[in-house]
Amino acid sequence: MEKELSYELAKTATHIVPGEGNPDAEIMFIGEAPGRDEDVSGRPFVGRSGQLLRANIRRVGYKEEDVFIANVVKHRPPENRDPTPEEIEHCAPFLDEQIRIINPKLIVTVGRFSMGKFFPGEKISGIHGKVFKINWNGTNFFVFQLYHAAEAVRSTSMKQAFEKDFDKLPKIVAWIKSGAKTKIDEAKEALF
């Protein structure tokens, strides 16, 4: 993968950060891009915001090795700036392939850049904490949006929203495993 990622970010970064976790994970977390700590270690979400994400994974009853954690962009942008649309586009085939291989029951977007992959033009403040069933590249997926953990580290109110949304994950996964039926689906089945 490193050879193929020969765009500008690869020239300024220390390590590629492809992602880590269970290749058969039910839940796949997708963030925006590696930060300084991730660039040094080559691992996703290990800095302050990553520690908060990982603590919440454990808090709601999962083990870190049960999930897969990746980013939209695989190298750290200089000065910790936002990734550009060109950088996101360049890395898209790699993330697409990760999603295809892992085939998670639930994709959890962490922040607006990963949310934008599935919901371009949406505002995270309008759809965080909600689960959507989407058809993406010919496959149905459930996608759930979280505020970025970095926002939760900086703001008490964002941390509360982040944790409240996180608390929904076990119920969402159980609902998906049970067939993901809505009240409308159940009503239709009862009528016919």
Question: What pTM does this model have?
Answer: 0.91
Predicted confidence band of residue 93 (pLDDT cuts 50, 70, 90): very high
Nearest to 134, CA basis, from 110, 117, 148: 117
Average pLDDT for 20-42:
95
Would you place residue 2 in the very low, low, confident or very high pLDDT band (cuts 50, 70, 90)?
A: very low
Over residues 91-110, mean pLDDT: 96
Nearest to residue 14, comparing CAs of 40, 35, 32? 40
Q: Which of 27-31, 68-72, 138-142 has the lowest mean pLDDT?
A: 138-142
Average pLDDT of the chain?
Answer: 91
- Which H or E run includes 145? strand 139-146
